[in-house]
Amino acid sequence: MVLVLGFEGYGGRSKNPSEAIVEALDKQTVGSTVVKGAVMPVQFEGLAQRVATLLHKHQPSVVIAFGLWPGEPVIRLERVGINTADFEIADNAGNLVQNTPVVPNRPDAHLATLPLHAIQDQLLEAGIPARLSGTAGTYLCNALMFSLLDHCAQHLPQTRCGFIHVPYLPMQAADMLQRLAQDATLEYHQRSDTASMSLDTIVTAAGLAIQTTLDSLS
Ligand code: PCA
């Protein structure tokens, strides 16, 4: 089976597009493989345990986690999860974790085990803009990516695992522009984080990433 993870909203924003991906794909099939979806809290404490419980329970052949990267205009395929948590804003439990290992006494980083270039090719072929990225940041998305890869490295070496950042939904960008106009404190050109992508396109991209990964296994 395929495990798809997303996050709840955070940072005072409305619903996370990655939560919408989970809702769209949970209990669906890609090819003949069943997808199970789960939404993760934006909370550092207990993350490793949540990851271990999910992976142990489902033993997926593929696990792909999704999150929002505000301002990113394209599907962003993450190459690497690093063993550092260094937050710029507090998580949803109010913790501003700084300069702390995600998992103590484990390697500095893990590379994604998804076929990233093949996924990028398939997305571009389908007319969906996508790129590889060399950093998933140092917040919860990176922490989840590292934790998943670290667990798989130790316990599920066959499992293909990685993380994909997605843009805002158009509604969220529209909402920001409305607030910008209402506040009348910033000029439009001072904001560079209003890129967005439709939910349909984002969900299609997620399905293609799963399909391409499953194809690479057979
Ligand atoms: N994005 C954040 C955490 C949750 C999410 O969707 C990040 O990029 O770390």
CATH code: domain of residue 165: 3.40.630.20
Ligand 1, atom nearest to 142 Cα: 9
Query: Does residue 162 form part of some domain?
Result: yes
Question: Under a CB-based contact definition with an 8 Å cutoff, are residues 217 and 160 in contact?
Answer: yes
pLDDT the model gives residue 193: 92
Query: Does residue 44 form part of some domain?
Result: yes
Nearest CA to ligand 1 atom 7: 141
Q: Is 44 in the pocket of ligand 1 (CB under 6 A)?
A: no
161 is catalytic: no
pLDDT the model gives residue 9: 97
Q: How many CA atoms lie within 13 A of 101 on its CB side?
A: 8
Assessment of whether the complete model's pTM goes beyond 0.95: yes
- 218 pLDDT band (50/70/90 cuts)? confident
Query: Does residue 97 form part of some domain?
Result: yes
Active-site residue (options: 19, 72, 110, 141): 141
Query: Does residue 192 form part of some domain?
Result: no
Query: Does residue 164 form part of some domain?
Result: yes
pLDDT the model gives residue 14: 83
Query: Does residue 202 form part of some domain?
Result: yes
pLDDT the model gives residue 91: 98
Burial category of 149 from C-beta neighbours within 10 Å (exposed 0-12, middle 13-18, buried 19 and up): buried
What pLDDT, in 10s, does the model give residues 139-197? 999 999 999 999 999 999 999 999 999 999 999 999 999 999 999 999 999 988 999 99
Number of domains composing the chain: 1
The total number of residues written for the chain in this structure: 218
Query: Does residue 39 form part of some domain?
Result: yes
Query: Does residue 38 form part of some domain?
Result: yes
Q: Which of 49, 68, 59 is nearest to 6 (CA)?
A: 68
pLDDT the model gives residue 195: 97
Range of the domain at 61: 2-169+198-217
- How do 130-133 and 80-82 pair as beta strands? unpaired
Question: Under a CB-based contact definition with an 8 Å cutoff, are residues 217 and 159 in contact?
Answer: no
User: What percentage of the chain has pLDDT greater than the value 90?
Assistant: 96
